[in-house]
Structure 1
């Protein structure tokens, strides 16, 4: 085990938390900040040796992760979501980087998976996310897609972090609704402009073209088409919600 604090933000993740924690048990400390789960997330995490603290998320993902980072006992931290898993290859790379102790923020190669659905392009194409870094001076800001802030130069690791995005279509569309609402609220808070023709008519078309053609969604056959069309509606819906937030306040 290495002197590393793994940080997990969770709410009602009993179906995910076991595999997530077990993939990180090479670290001396695993911290779970739980948003008052109503299932067995806390019980399971505690039984697996994690340090669990309950704290309301209140829509502020960045604030929750920053709070979690402050609880870490070790100089190095690794951020992971409950629906993610560290591969054996990534485990070894993390061990090597922490042992080397160079003051660098590492981006890991995340492979996105939709249970029972094969897609490796477009919306579910692999991406890089900043997750491993020294604790000192590191924090997170933002609501829907938070940004990790560190004072360190960055470097990419090659091994995969597996991200099990959705278990079923019901979960997919629940997240769809939640994230479009949070995005709209974030845009309003930042006073982002919203025009009906530009953002509700044209922008979704560009979102579809980007995912289906430019990012290669068409290579994933039927699933690529479905996910790209859904990305069209995702983009449209967050701007529809923003448009009517402004309209309800008499700003349009």
Structure 2
């Protein structure tokens, strides 16, 4: 096995945890779970399948969870994988080759999304490219939600892809919607960002046009339209929550 740790953030992921650990073990024996307080069987199942589990209390900060993981990584390289993501075989081989070179680079991975039983090719859930493989000492994460890595190494795209099994149902979508919009609004407010009702609608309208036309969401058919409408609502609500915080702070 190669000199890399696969880091997975969890909270109540018993439905995914066994599959994602077994998938990660196709690359390495070093699988690190950062759990934020699961109340189901996530931790027990993770340990039973050979993963190391560490705990950090959830404080609405995804970047902090990812940075905390770095304190427990004992390998030269770190690969971040979400509980609902899976590496395909070609990507596993690409990771092994990349880590074997030991050069100072960060590696970007293509990600394909499956939601509500459908694979998306356009719009909100179109395939994207995400930096996920780094030298452990070369990366730090920023932003509480929609977090991103900061790494000065040259970016290289790996062969293969991640399959992202997001949103198995609408209750899950609504739960993430509530969580992400709240975190975004609170973080934006603390950073001094301010808005207005007209600005909120303006951002939401542009978000819809961007997804349905500029990113061709309409080509995903009815679900493409639904997801573009959802993106309008998501954008509107996060700005309305920011406006609510403003008014409370006046």
Deviates more, 1:201-210 or 1:116-125: 116-125
CA distance, structure 1, for counterparts of residue 157 and residue 106 of structure 2: 9
TM-score by length of 2: 0.97
Helix, strand or coil: the match of 2:24?
Answer: coil
Question: Aligned residue for 2:17?
Answer: 17
CA distance, structure 1, for counterparts of residue 73 and residue 106 of structure 2: 16
Deviates more, 1:208-217 or 1:151-160: 151-160
CA distance, structure 2, for counterparts of residue 115 and residue 239 of structure 1: 26
CA contact (8 A) 1:204 1:235 kept: yes
Stretches of structure 2 that go unaligned for 5 or more consecutive residues are none
Helix, strand or coil: the match of 1:32?
Answer: strand
How much has 1:178 moved relative to structure 2?
1.1
Residue by residue over 1:81-110, the C-alpha shift from the partner in whole angstroms, topping out at 9 and shown as x without a partner, is: 111111111101000100111110001001
Question: Aligned residue for 1:101?
Answer: 102
Alignment of 1:158-173 (within 5 A): 158-173=159-174
Q: Does 1:181 align with 2:182?
A: yes
Stretches of structure 1 that go unaligned for 5 or more consecutive residues are none
Q: Does 1:242 align with 2:237?
A: no
Large movers: runs of 4+ above 2 Å: none
Alignment of 1:219-234 (within 5 A): 219-234=219-234
CA distance, structure 1, for counterparts of residue 53 and residue 115 of structure 2: 28
CA distance, structure 1, for counterparts of residue 197 and residue 16 of structure 2: 39
Residue by residue over 1:208-235, the C-alpha shift from the partner in whole angstroms, topping out at 9 and shown as x without a partner, is: 0000001010001100110000100000
How much has 1:202 moved relative to structure 2?
1.5
Question: Aligned residue for 1:67?
Answer: 68
How much has 1:57 moved relative to structure 2?
2.1
Number of matched residues? 249
